[in-house]
Amino acid sequence: MKAAHAAWRRLEAVHGMIYFVPEARRRYRDLGLSGRAGYFTSRSAAFGRASAELIIATFYNFHPDLVRRTVEGAWDATTPQQVLDARYAAAEEALRRAGIHELPGLDEVVALTRSAAEAACEHAQGRPLFAAHAALPWPQEPVLRLWHAQTLLREFRGDGHVACLLSEGVGAAEALVLHAATGEVPGDFLRASRAWPAEEWAGARERLRERGLLDGDSLSPQGSVLRRHIEDRTDRLALPAYAVLGDTGCERLAELAKPFGRAVVEAGLLRTG
């Protein structure tokens, strides 16, 4: 499980940069999508004209009012296919700016990552966001094949994570409060970026305290156990994708992936603003 987690983690930046790079913002603006409309429509475009309610259900941790307000009218400005085309074009442009296409081992990384992504397709039940992206055609260009494969693996894992949160009775705002309580990300950032009003955030925090999961603003021992359980369970639910590689293949992918993730970071593709 550790090898599979490392393989995913070291390539996550290759997918995740699409939410930050100016190439994406520019292309979404050209379609008439401003602000967060680009994020919500581009990630949900694989569904077609995704409703706000579908995005709320599958993205999970954004305040519903933010999604409804942002998505309203977005599909009047453009089409899902135009948004998908813009997203892929932005991904290729940004990754080439990082020099991904020149890194040694690209073909092997693509082959391993694609094998895992295609194995995940045999386990799509109960994973709606993954399944929607899995139905998209595979790109021909190697850099985009890598990005698409890692996107599938990210959404495969993400759908499993949502299932874990639901099974443990952890709601959308509560999941963010638990994350903030680890100290990994400031709570003010998580609350503001997902647009949770202060009173609803405080309510989520109080519910977690009543369950004994918080000690002040930090995780209690019981909260730490639950948080670890959710993360471990998420890893286990992601294993069907990586089982095809075996430990040896996962270790090889994790080793090869290091310079790819590093290139994304060093090129500034994860910078906000």
CA distances, 249 to each of 72, 114, 151, 162, 269 (Å)? 44, 12, 19, 27, 27
**Three-class SS state of 5:** helix
How is residue 187 written in tokens? 């709570």
Contact status, residue 159 vs residue 134, Cβ threshold 8 Å: no
The band of 273, judged by pLDDT with boundaries at 50, 70 and 90, is low
* Helices and strands: H and E segment counts in the chain: 15, 2
What is the C-alpha to C-alpha distance for residues 173 and 189, in angstroms, rounded to an integer?
13
Query: Using one digit for the tens of pLDDT, what is the confidence trace for 152-181?
Result: 999 999 999 999 999 999 999 999 999 999
Query: Using one digit for the tens of pLDDT, what is the confidence trace for 188-240?
Result: 999 999 999 999 999 999 999 999 999 988 999 999 999 999 999 999 999 99
Mean pLDDT, residues 12-27: 96
